Chains A and B, each alone.
Chain A
Amino acid sequence: MEQRGFLFNPNRCLGCRSCQVACAINHGLPPGVFLRKVTEIEFIRDKQIVKYYLSSSCNHCQNPECFRNCPEHAYQKRRDGIVVQDQSRCKGCGTCTRSCPFQAPVINPLTSKVTKCDFCHGRIEEDENPFCVASCPVDALQLLNLSTGIDIVLKLQKELPGVPRIQLTRPSVRYIPLQLGRQVGLQVGENRGDEHN
């Protein structure tokens, strides 16, 4: 079985939210409902500020909690590893929204049913990138086929600093290791090195 996933480069992400809005608009979601979200990570380490942006959506986990917990069996894991959800089965109970450690499935208030990232598999089948990948002005987000072992060849990481480590569900996302430059003139207190997001 294949496993498709995302490759994210925190050294390129601008926090511009193109992916987030391109996805939402092209999926015709009501304003404020997002299948992909960009968050800012900021904390102090060694008197320097670690600051970067993380764009995340459904991670199409190898052991998806949504799939395991859905009482309506609305979730499916496809042969290519993409986790899809069948709207016609969804009763909007929200079990998946509570069981997903990444808060990927969300309720669409227009339908009262859950919706989530489907990896734009329809577009992929037509050799087009998902809206999020296609909209990134700097190629910070790309597609990855984890079955090829490329993540090991490229020394990709499974986690990023300052983000809770959640590996139980085996999320299909890999990261380029974060690089940081040197910052001059910052006013980070001598004794106030406690991390905060």
Chain B
Amino acid sequence: MTKVYCNVCPADCPASCRMLTEVQNGRIISINGDPRDAYTKGTLCAKGYAYPERIYASDRILYPLKQRGKGSGKWDRVSWEEALEAIATKLIAIRENYGNLLPVCLDKYMGTTGILSHSVQGFFHSLGPVTQMIGTPCVAAGTDAMSLNYGKCQKPAPEDMLNSRLIIIWGANAAWTVPHQMRYIFEAQEQGAKLIVIDPILTATAARSDLYFQIRPGTDGVLALGLAKVLLDEDLLDHQFLTKHTYGWPEYKDYLATVDLQEVSEITAIPLTDICELAHLYGTSKPATIWIGLGLQRSLAGGQNTRAIDSLAALSGNIGKAGGNVHHLSYEYLTYAGEYTRLQLPSGIAGISDQQIPKDRIIGTGRFSELANLDPPLELLWIAGRNPVSQDPDSNKIKEVLRKIPLVVVADQFLTATAQLADYFLPVTSPFEFEDVVISYWHYGAAMNEQAIAPLGECQSDFAIMRQLAATLNRLSPGFSSFPTERNAEEWLDRELKPHLYGLLGITHYQDLRDRYFRVPLPSVPWQDYRFSTPSGKYEFFSLHAEKYGLTPLPIPDFQPSSSVAYPLRFMTIHSYASLNSQFSNLGNLRSLEKLPILYVHPETARLKNLEQGSKVKVYNQLGEIEFHTALSFTIPRDIVVTDLGSASRNYENENANALLRFSETDLGHLFTGYKGISFTNCFVNLKKVE
């Protein structure tokens, strides 16, 4: 007897694909795309198809574990009661010793985007003030940039690209990270639209473009200023829009007059004639849209870079028009969610009243060195939906800090690089084992996960874990947690979605989401009324708000650091089709697509370093060294070497790429999420052949 269940992928990805899960005798026999999904048209990515392997993976942990010494690898199976009682006892002791719970820290992020997972933050709020790591390593700088220019970050519907005559993908490899979007782009191309890709690497996406520009990393804002200058010089401007609906145009215009195009060409490594051609194409193809990716904003000047690129849409009059605008991820839909979701990353702390902000001690995401020097010190760290050792800069420093924290709890499905340094490992259910709701931050589709199978082993959802911990705490110390333990997951989800989202989606209960594709009905073309949410009510080239945050009010990026003699090569990690950050890359089917940790090297650079195709090579800098196998490619510049995210950590015991990355902040991010973003593109290394 086979039954089909509706599911949705909760991975931190724009597509949030609906899936159909076939179950026979309590076991999943297949997972495929749901053809009713209006965005994906029923297809999944390679990772999505590999879900059955992930659910039943032999290395998935199904029972709570306690480690005899962090990093020892000596794990003992314990009961939930034992694990939670030990954690609860520690929490109670901390409050007794310190008089508060500030020595307790939560590091939770987007390992699952399901609404129910916000109950983890809900639990910690129920304890009173604690320490929380907030902010986002993902879209902080870009979200701030958009918010400065427009007042808030709004985006067109993804399908609006079908209306574009010109699509510029700037710093994104959609073919591997949002493959479904390429369907709309190809359709637009077939209707005559041109596709332009700007990227330091000739990616799978760039390979399909009509025009590709190999830009020097981090100089995107400089290129944008150059393009703006050409638009000005050639009078490819929308004067009416500039006069009526923008603030600071005279100042911006004066600045652009000082931009030296020859210098722009030298900084960006793009020939002058090609800069002019690109500006001309953008200025004359109407409507034209720009998709600002995540890559370029994770550089030191990522925020100002994004503001400068975005300003092109204002100059050319593409704002508020179908087929125009700028596409950027947006968490706007979260402003319609209930109280716990709104308090959460990555929507951050903006837009909620002071009373709602708990009096937590706040640490920026990824700032692990700060965690080690707190007063009162940290006694307990809870990590959920997050793998900082793999994903945050300076992995070895993070490991060192984790070793020093007396009690580290990791809730996950696998023994990740971070979990290996936990004292307690709590096994979390896969999305097919509990009911939840996921809303896409790209197409705003809302879908639910039905419980297709019983939890494997003793796995529990994050929600069930928190609820049980709250109950344990209150048994040992009545009134310790105000978490509503009497409320089940269904009630929790219902209360979270009811106030706003039910009305917007036109449903009466979240289980209605099973029946067909639903989308939060935000405008498919934003800013049509030209009413911007900035202090001036206009689109702002000149932002006093930016000035308040220590930036130039105009979108002028700071200069970038460059390589040194000792470390002449920039080391970049890119997202692969075979992994999502550190997720999925442990699966046999995906690992076998690329068996070895690969380092892509330009053939000329390889020749200088005596490397050949397949050579073993050591990548090193001040922070450490990692071994790779060389793959030669002309698709990258000579001064860059590239690996894919997850490649180095293909084997958990191996080092990972971020071990070589020093922590540095982007220029923006603090406005919207409370903390600046993290720069991932300024890692410089050298190579040595391993004989």
Please state if A16 and B212 are interface contacts (CB–CB under 8 Å).
Answer: no
Chain A residues, CB < 8 A from B208: 11-12, 14, 181
Please state if A187 and B40 are interface contacts (CB–CB under 8 Å).
Answer: no
Task: Give B178's nearest chain A residue, CB to CB.
Answer: A137
Chain A positions 34-54 with a Cβ under 8 Å from a chain B Cβ: 34, 42, 44, 49, 51-53
Report the bound CA distance from A187 to B638 in whole Å. Answer: 7
Please state if A135 and B44 are interface contacts (CB–CB under 8 Å).
Answer: yes
Which one of B163-171, B267-275, B375-383 contacts A?
B267-275
Please state if A42 and B634 are interface contacts (CB–CB under 8 Å).
Answer: yes
Chain A residues, CB < 8 A from B590: 21
Please state if A21 and B50 are interface contacts (CB–CB under 8 Å).
Answer: yes
List 13 interface pairs A-B (beta carbons < 8 Å), by A numbering: A12-B208, A14-B175, A14-B205, A16-B204, A18-B179, A22-B44, A26-B32, A135-B32, A184-B270, A185-B269, A185-B270, A187-B214, A187-B602
Please state if B176 and A187 are interface contacts (CB–CB under 8 Å).
Answer: no
Please state if B176 and A189 are interface contacts (CB–CB under 8 Å).
Answer: no
Closest Cβ of chain A to B506, distance in Å, is 28
- Whether B64 is near chain A, meaning CB under 8 Å from some CB there, is no
Task: Give chain A's interface residue range (CB within 8 Å of chain B).
Answer: 35 or more
Chain B residues, CB < 8 A from A20: 46, 593
A16-B179, A26-B30 known; A31+B589 contact, CB < 8 A: yes
Chain B positions 542-559 with a Cβ under 8 Å from a chain A Cβ: none
Chain A positions 63-107 with a Cβ under 8 Å from a chain B Cβ: none
Chain A residues, CB < 8 A from B271: 184-185
- Whether B510 is near chain A, meaning CB under 8 Å from some CB there, is no
Please state if B210 and A16 are interface contacts (CB–CB under 8 Å).
Answer: no
Return the CB mask of A5-23 against B: 1 if under 8 Å, else 0: 0000001101111101110
Q: Which of B49, B578, B592, B637 contacts A187 (CB 8 A)?
A: B637
Q: Which of A17, A49, A135, A182 contacts B635 (CB 8 A)?
A: A49
Task: Give A22's nearest chain B residue, CB to CB.
Answer: B49
Please state if B176 and A137 are interface contacts (CB–CB under 8 Å).
Answer: no
Please state if B634 and A137 are interface contacts (CB–CB under 8 Å).
Answer: no
- Whether B118 is near chain A, meaning CB under 8 Å from some CB there, is no
Q: Which of B176, B195, B215 contacts A185 (CB 8 A)?
A: B215
Return the CB mask of A167-194 against B: 1 if under 8 Å, else 0: 0000000000000011111111100100
Please state if A187 and B604 are interface contacts (CB–CB under 8 Å).
Answer: yes
Closest Cβ of chain B to A46, distance in Å, is 13
Q: Which of B32, B179, B195 contacts A14 (CB 8 A)?
A: B179
- Whether B53 is near chain A, meaning CB under 8 Å from some CB there, is yes
A14-B179, A51-B202, A181-B211 known; A24+B589 contact, CB < 8 A: yes
Please state if B603 and A192 are interface contacts (CB–CB under 8 Å).
Answer: yes
- Whether B186 is near chain A, meaning CB under 8 Å from some CB there, is yes
Please state if B211 and A182 are interface contacts (CB–CB under 8 Å).
Answer: yes
Closest Cβ of chain B to A189, distance in Å, is 6
- Whether B411 is near chain A, meaning CB under 8 Å from some CB there, is no
Please state if A185 and B44 are interface contacts (CB–CB under 8 Å).
Answer: no
Beyond known contacts A11-B186, A42-B635, A135-B43: 13 more, CB 8 A cutoff: A14-B204, A14-B205, A15-B176, A15-B577, A21-B46, A25-B49, A31-B587, A32-B591, A51-B202, A135-B32, A135-B33, A181-B209, A196-B603
- Whether B588 is near chain A, meaning CB under 8 Å from some CB there, is yes
Chain B residues, CB < 8 A from A51: 202, 207, 635
Please state if A44 and B186 are interface contacts (CB–CB under 8 Å).
Answer: no
Please state if B45 and A18 are interface contacts (CB–CB under 8 Å).
Answer: yes
A15-B175, A15-B577, A32-B592 known; A196+B604 contact, CB < 8 A: no
- Whether A136 is near chain B, meaning CB under 8 Å from some CB there, is yes
Chain B residues, CB < 8 A from A144: none
- Whether A166 is near chain B, meaning CB under 8 Å from some CB there, is no
A-B residue pairs, 4 tightest by C-beta: A31-B588, A32-B592, A14-B175, A185-B214
Closest Cβ of chain A to B585, distance in Å, is 13
Report the bound CA distance from A189 to B632 in whole Å. Answer: 14
- Whether A2 is near chain B, meaning CB under 8 Å from some CB there, is no
Chain A residues, CB < 8 A from B207: 49, 51-52
Report the bound CA distance from A24 to B591 in whole Å. Answer: 13
- Whether A150 is near chain B, meaning CB under 8 Å from some CB there, is no
- Whether B480 is near chain A, meaning CB under 8 Å from some CB there, is no
- Whether B182 is near chain A, meaning CB under 8 Å from some CB there, is yes
Please state if B182 and A137 are interface contacts (CB–CB under 8 Å).
Answer: yes
Please state if A182 and B210 are interface contacts (CB–CB under 8 Å).
Answer: yes
Q: Is the interface of A mostly helix, strand, loop or mixed?
A: loop
Q: Which of A184, A187, A196 contacts B212 (CB 8 A)?
A: A184
A21-B589, A137-B179, A185-B270 known; A15+B604 contact, CB < 8 A: no
Chain A residues, CB < 8 A from B40: 137
A138-B183, A181-B210, A185-B270 known; A18+B602 contact, CB < 8 A: no
Chain B residues, CB < 8 A from A52: 207
Closest Cβ of chain A to B207, distance in Å, is 4
- Whether B52 is near chain A, meaning CB under 8 Å from some CB there, is yes
Report the bound CA distance from A52 to B203 in whole Å. Answer: 10
Task: Give B270's nearest chain A residue, CB to CB.
Answer: A185
Report the bound CA distance from A174 to B634 in whole Å. Answer: 28
Chain B positions 157-213 with a Cβ under 8 Å from a chain A Cβ: 175-176, 179-180, 182-183, 186, 195, 202, 204-213
Chain A residues, CB < 8 A from B100: none
Closest Cβ of chain A to B602, distance in Å, is 7
Chain B positions 262-289 with a Cβ under 8 Å from a chain A Cβ: 269-271, 274
Chain A residues, CB < 8 A from B613: 196
Report the bound CA distance from A17 to B591 in whole Å. Answer: 12
- Whether A134 is near chain B, meaning CB under 8 Å from some CB there, is yes
A31-B53, A181-B210, A186-B202 known; A18+B592 contact, CB < 8 A: no
Return the CB mask of A124-168 against B: 1 if under 8 Å, else 0: 000000000011111100000000000000000000000000000
Closest Cβ of chain A to B6, distance in Å, is 18
Task: Give A52's nearest chain B residue, CB to CB.
Answer: B207
- Whether B396 is near chain A, meaning CB under 8 Å from some CB there, is no
A25-B49, A32-B592 known; A14+B182 contact, CB < 8 A: yes
Report the bound CA distance from A135 to B577 in whole Å. Answer: 14
Chain B residues, CB < 8 A from A196: 603, 613, 632
Task: Give B602's nearest chain A residue, CB to CB.
Answer: A187
Report the bound CA distance from A29 to B32 in whole Å. Answer: 16
Closest Cβ of chain B to A42, distance in Å, is 6
Q: Which of A16, A25, A26, A134 contacts B176 (CB 8 A)?
A: A16
Closest Cβ of chain A to B295, distance in Å, is 16
Return the CB mask of A50-62 against B: 1 if under 8 Å, else 0: 0111000000000
- Whether B344 is near chain A, meaning CB under 8 Å from some CB there, is no
Report the bound CA distance from A18 to B578 in whole Å. Answer: 10
Report the bound CA distance from A42 to B204 in whole Å. Answer: 11
- Whether B126 is near chain A, meaning CB under 8 Å from some CB there, is no
Closest Cβ of chain A to B375, distance in Å, is 49
Task: Give B182's nearest chain A residue, CB to CB.
Answer: A138
Chain B residues, CB < 8 A from A34: 592
Chain A residues, CB < 8 A from B592: 31-32, 34
Closest Cβ of chain B to A22, distance in Å, is 4
Task: Give A41's nearest chain B residue, CB to CB.
Answer: B207
